[in-house]
Structure 1
Amino acid sequence: MAKTRQQLNLENLAYISAGSIVDVEILTPTASKRIKTEFVGLLHERFVILNYPSAKRLSNAGEYLKDGVVVIVRAVLETGGGQVIAFRQQVMSVSSHPARLIYLNFPTEVQLFSLRSQTRIPTLLAAKIKFNDEREMQGVIKDISVTGVMFDVKSKADLSELKNTQCHIMLDKNNKGVTEFSGQICSVKSHATSAQFGIQLTASEDEMKTFMKDHFIDLSVLEPLV
């Protein structure tokens, strides 16, 4: 019997690489909290295992990360041309020995969508990218959507090691409105004298639309969400 689309989507969980960074959205009665942590692995039809976030990543969300809490997990698949896999499930247990780990109930359904499912609008916004180790690089935001940006830097070095790292995009302080965004580098394309980072941002769609309006970017070209 042919497999259903949902069964095929569930099989894609196996393509989340151990050690890769995943986005975890903790759902609370008042607001959601978003944190980053590492994907550890899974036991099919039993549970999914995540690393317990470091204190720096956890910030003030620790009190919400406990048994029974519902979370949404999003991860970029190594295969599939930049597809994101997402699922919603309850925290089964948080272990403390031999390592602090988060066990999630195995999802019954997952969603797949492309990082490029949003219309990207060409821009030339000067900015700099900053990494957690305090390194900074000057560059240009070449295009923008409600979910991410393409950031171009001048460099002859191999920057592929920066894939899956956290970063901050900072615009000139003279810019109107929001001047800093956080995100994760999901792709790195190297050229002879430059490199391009495909960055998924953590800002909400409303925040991105406000930012675009502040910079006179025409929102009418945006397609409806898939």
Structure 2
Amino acid sequence: MTVAPEAPPVYARTEATTPTRARDRMRYDADVVHAILDEAFLAHISFTAFGQPHILPLAFGRDGSRVYVHVSSGSHLATAVRKAGDEGLPVSFAVTHADALVLARSAMHHSLNFRCVIAHGPLRRVTEPDELVRGWSVLLDHLVPGRSADTRPPNRKEAAQTGLFALELVEVAAKVRTHGLSEDEADLGLDHWAGVVPLRVVAGTPEADAGVSPELPAYLAAWTAEHS
């Protein structure tokens, strides 16, 4: 099986992961990068194929210093990865958390507190049987830990219709804004409300499908309580 690479304590800074502005917001520590990824449910992958730029929202899961995503085998992304061959398809991968609205007295100083991770690299198709099994488990357990053991695995037809793809976290960094307002001193006396509005994502009450016991499995009850 293709074993996920062990993450370094700090990811190397590269031209792709070094911005021209606000460099003080950059974080390269693996624990910071991984924590931001692990808290997110949705990623976006951007790529160029067939002469056009594309971007897709995708579920994902992290396994060490690797992320897995899945898409339809007939999608532009899957087709482009197959066409790219063993070298993989160059992509950008991103997740973002909006943590607060920053409302300033002036229009130009409005902002958001946020945490994001952006990675660059070749996306490859997973074909090795053991890695396919592990990759699907990683995806499901990223949504709710323990979920992979409480589902039917993909059958042969489903596996043919949906491809599993992997991206190694090599060129990757986090960007974080956590401070409040940055106002011009001349604006401090203006009579406009200013401040920070925190935002958060919470789990609602699970709604059981027809024919399913309303009693939650232990792993889901624990996860729901933690995220309520």
* TM-score category (smaller protein): 0.3 to 0.5
- Max Rg structure: 2
Bigger proportion of residues as helix = 2
RCO greater where, 1 or 2, for CA within 8 Å and sep 6 or more? 2
